[in-house]
Structure 1
Amino acid sequence: MGSLFKELEAREAAARVRVEELEAEAAELSGRLRLAKESLERLQIARETVAEVLAEMPPDKPVVVVGAGQPVAEEPDASAYAGAERHVIGVLTVPNWRPGMGPEVLPQVYRDIVEVVADAPGPVRAKQIVPRIGLPAETGKIESTRSKLKRLVERGWLDEDTPGMFTPARRRTASSDSR
């Protein structure tokens, strides 16, 4: 009978340890959830503030978009922004490709995508790129990458001759080869 009580005590101790481990995990997840909620709240406030600013702007004021690696162009009527150093509404993180521009001007994830497409032996799909840039092959990651690929096509960094099949932009490779 003594060994039965020892076995129950051992199982109880093991269960206590597991409960403590789960409580620690719950505390960590609770902290992460709190941080995620705070981030969400800040983003909601930012979106609401931008919507308010845009709603209050007179339609005749120009909207300036600053691209990565591009200088800020002079505004047509500088007196409209007296006292303000610069009035920027949006930032273009993926600039339109121009001759002489390399992938180093792109944000890291876009640079990685351009490099994977350039290294591929032929046209590639988003689902082929995702694992090569270090992301899990999940639907959300594939769709997010597809969106980035489409943006790179719009801005002249890549071509999409067949829907969903991406290649390096021909005009880029043709102008690069002629140097």
Structure 2
Amino acid sequence: MVRVPPTCIALAAAVAALFGAAPASANLLDYVGQCVPFARQASGIQIYGDAWTWWDQADGRYKRGHKPKVGAVIVFAKTGQLRLGHVAVVSRVVENRVLMLTHANWSRQNGERGHAEQDVTLYDVSDDNDWSRVKVWYRDSNGLGGSIYPVKGFIYGTGDTARELTGRNPDYVGALIDAYVPGAGGH
């Protein structure tokens, strides 16, 4: 057995914190932290830096587009409300204007931000049905939030996504979709 000095463990933890590495956990949904390391861990897409920078960083490294696919990372633009942007992973495509995502650091849970949320409803409100403007389920209001967020597009990974990307317990809107849209709840 190799003995690792405590200083090496402390240094590794400090480096991980500095670069936003997602902590290893038994279940991805136990994660608490920022959206970027969560999206990286959930999607397998290895991009670093603020969420709003992912779209340009993906150019030439990953395929990009404006059609949602399971496992793709959706990149929210930087705005006054989202100063660092936001990234999330598509967990289900329900129909041409509705999908679900799994992400971290959006809604508050137990009064704090940072928690992972699975199968959260996202609705395309863009005029051209191109996913350039969306509304997102917000747990604090138990509904689609009132804000509309601009989106850069989707980054498509290699298909190496986390097994917890989707589940059987979507948000309330997702549960209604599963109940009333034929085939929507299939995994």
Question: Which bin holds the TM-score, normalised by the shorter protein?
Answer: under 0.3
The structure whose residues are more often strand, as a share, is: 2
TM-score (structure 1 length as normaliser): 0.24
- Higher RCO structure, 1 or 2 (CA under 8 Å, sep 6+): 2
The structure whose residues are more often helix, as a share, is: 1
TM-score (structure 2 length as normaliser): 0.23
